[in-house]
Amino acid sequence: MKKTVGILILFLIGFNLVGQNAQSLSAKVQSLYNEAKSLAQAGESKKAIEALRQVLKNDPQYYMAWFGLADIYHETKDRKLEKESLENGLKAGADRFPNGYKYLAALFYEDAKYDEALKNIEQFSRLKSLSPDENRLLASCRFAVGAISNPVPFNPENAGPAINTSADEYWPCLNAEGNILVFTRLLRQGIDARKLAYPQEDFFVSKKDSTGWQEAIPLGPPINTPENEGAQCISADGRLLFFTGCGRTDGLGSCDIYMSVKIKDKWSEPVNLGEPVNTKFWESQPSVSADGRRLYFTSNRPGGKGKMDIWCAEKLGVSKTGYPVYGKVTNLEGVNTPGNDLSPFIHADSKTLYFASDYWPGIGGKDLFRFRIDSAKTKPPQNLGFPINTSADEEGLVVEVSGRRAWYTVDKKDSGGREIYSFLIPDTSKPEPVSWVKGKIFDSKTQGLIASDIVLNDLSLNSLIQHQYPFENEGEFLFCLPSGRNYGLNIAKEGYLFHSENFNLLGDFNLQKPMDLRISLDPIEKGRTTILKNIFFDTDSFNLKPESKGQLLEMVDFMRTNPGLIVEIGGHTDDQGSEAHNQILSEKRAGAVVSYIITKGILPTRLKSKGYGFSVPLTDNLTEEGRAKNRRTEFKILESKARDK
């Protein structure tokens, strides 16, 4: 939090002398004091100080003279003498000017002397009722004392010479895999080693391989320009870059948020996100959620709660050129204050927001906080604690998908610049566990990549999480998967048989071994088969579970899109139980799927069902894993009239 603005304004504009003792009100002392007041009002600080010193020489107990000195030293930024004057005034005044304790507390707080700050603000609270700002100072002092006494584990590591140089490096951001780091570097020399007329901010990128981080190189045009670019974020899959550009010809305000898409390993010409994300005011510091549905950013636009607020824009759709379109901008509830709340970072769990604030109770300057969006109405933001936060400004924190490591900027004032560091984040400040799945989609015959419709569903909630259209991908995808859910992945492309995958993350899973898939799509031809991995039945039953809805509707769409197909739905079981029982169960399960599709308007003549029992296993039935693979529903093309013509 910031120090209370101003000190003893009453001294400069006049005050009531009631309360001084009779000795202090001698004509000589009063005359000297009035002279000091007039000199201070006229801006004659040195002469005013001399007059106040004369007052105190004649009457050392004239406590308001000490506070008058404190006021002048505050204006002239002489903190040492300001503090001494406040202490002397409080000693002489014996609680007759309670505000002195508040001002002294603010000074001690700024100097990171939290015990002394707390002692003074608590004494003030015993003498007067506290305003909201005074209560905030009290809360910050109490928090700081507790935080210093109970430090969190913290061992920051320099990102190394591949990233940090003699220039300033700051504002790191990473993709989901954690092998691409994009950051801002402040250049003072051009490529010809000549000194630039003005320092220039450009983006640099470092890639990580088995040997570590490689030497960072400029991101290059069209992203980097002769102007400044900064405060950027990269999407989880590394395909989208959002950043801040200021004073540009296509800008709407002082600073706007821009976006670029990577196509065939080249960044597109950046575009201004436009209204309502950008306004005629200041917009900066974007952070996009891993699913791309929300864009968080900082703005000083009207309608907020403070000076700088954090806002959220929702994804409305995607343009034909592959750019997401954002709108419906809202002020973030539970985070923003009358102060400055900024530098948002939304973790891949889509629930945990990290940000900086100079208003919430903290250790000084801007502190880093963690906030759970899903508990906005019940829990305030959590300060990350000491020594992550200090009396200096901390901001611009990002946390890896794994939730284990955070990256931020350290201002090494003693060694001349800003550098990027990382550290293991304390357990109390971690986000929810998140893994990721990535994959490439190939033509099974040509082995060429296929840009496809890629849909990720939350099967438990029967809700869409992400939908990538063919113009949004080049046959490659990456999705972050928060734990505690069951996911269904469906892939479709015109002219090909669809493909499905299931990721059950309801139990334990290994964050260190995310899924890496290679998916082949078969052309629509007679005899082609795909396993329906997102069809689920109750145990030993042919009742379809609600989680099957997404896969069933995908099959309906596929049949409608390909009216010349006749298909077979095949049911398969494991070998637990009798052959007869499993044969009947497999037939009924296949029939249940066919019945559902028919209810959606597909002609019964185009669908056949067949039960195979456990006669066609994919693997042995010796383990539960093997039996689970054998329990399946298959979709097989029997005839393809459209392709036979």
What DSSP string runs through 429-480?
A: G----EEEEEEEEEETTT--B---EEEEEETTTTEEEEEE-GGG-SSEEEEE
- Same-domain status, 83 and 47: yes
Q: pLDDT tens, 246-255?
A: 989 999 989 9
- Same-domain status, 131 and 167: no
Give the CATH number for residue 35. Answer: 1.25.40.10
The token pair at 26 is 């001698």
The token pair at 101 is 């304790």
- Same-domain status, 79 and 179: no
In a domain? residue 456? no
Angle of CA points 512, 518, 520, to nearest 5°: 160
- Same-domain status, 127 and 198: no
In a domain? residue 444? no
**Domain boundary residue, one of 115, 149, 183:** 149
Contact 215, 455 (CB under 8 A): no
pLDDT at residue 11, rounded to an integer:
59
Strands (E), 214-366: 217-218, 229-234, 240-246, 255-263, 266-267, 271-272, 283-288, 294-299, 309-318, 324-331, 341-346, 352-357
Contact 39, 48 (CB under 8 A): yes
- Same-domain status, 338 and 358: yes
Q: Which residue has the tokens 């497999």?
A: 586
In a domain? residue 434? no
Domain total of the chain: 3
Domain of residue 570, residue span = 524-645
pLDDT at residue 1, rounded to an integer:
47
- Same-domain status, 176 and 130: no
Write down the number of H helices and E strands in the chain: 12, 33
- Same-domain status, 570 and 589: yes
pLDDT at residue 191, rounded to an integer:
63
pLDDT at residue 429, rounded to an integer:
95
**Domain boundary residue, one of 149, 172, 207:** 149
Cα dihedral value 8, 9, 14, 15, nearest 10: -50
Q: pLDDT tens, 344-398?
A: 999 999 999 999 999 999 999 999 999 999 876 778 999 999 999 999 999 999 9
pLDDT at residue 416, rounded to an integer:
63
**Domain boundary residue, one of 429, 455, 475:** 429
Q: Which of 433, 404, 298, 282 is nearest to 356 (CA)?
A: 298
b/e map 194-224, b = 16+ CB within 10 Å: eeeeeebbbbbbbeeeeeebeebeebeeebb
CA-to-CA distance for 587 and 74, rounded, in angstroms? 87
Q: Which residue has the tokens 């699913």?
A: 291
pTM (2 d.p.)? 0.89
pLDDT at residue 412, rounded to an integer:
75
In a domain? residue 252? yes
Instruction: Give rounded-to-5 percent helix, strand, coil for the chain.
Output: 25, 35, 40
In a domain? residue 403? yes
- Same-domain status, 236 and 366: yes
Contact 622, 509 (CB under 8 A): no
- Same-domain status, 68 and 166: no
Q: Which residue has the tokens 């939290």?
A: 114
pLDDT at residue 345, rounded to an integer:
98
Contact 51, 69 (CB under 8 A): no
- Same-domain status, 45 and 83: yes
In a domain? residue 438? no
- Same-domain status, 215 and 272: yes
pLDDT at residue 374, rounded to an integer:
85
Give the CATH number for residue 584. Answer: 3.30.1330.60
Which residue ranges of the chain lie beneath pLDDT 70?
1-25, 190-194, 197, 376, 413-416, 505-513, 642-645
In a domain? residue 611? yes
In a domain? residue 477? no
CA-to-CA distance for 405 and 382, rounded, in angstroms? 18
- Same-domain status, 620 and 600: yes
pLDDT at residue 556, rounded to an integer:
96
The token pair at 171 is 């504002």
CA-to-CA distance for 183 and 174, rounded, in angstroms? 9
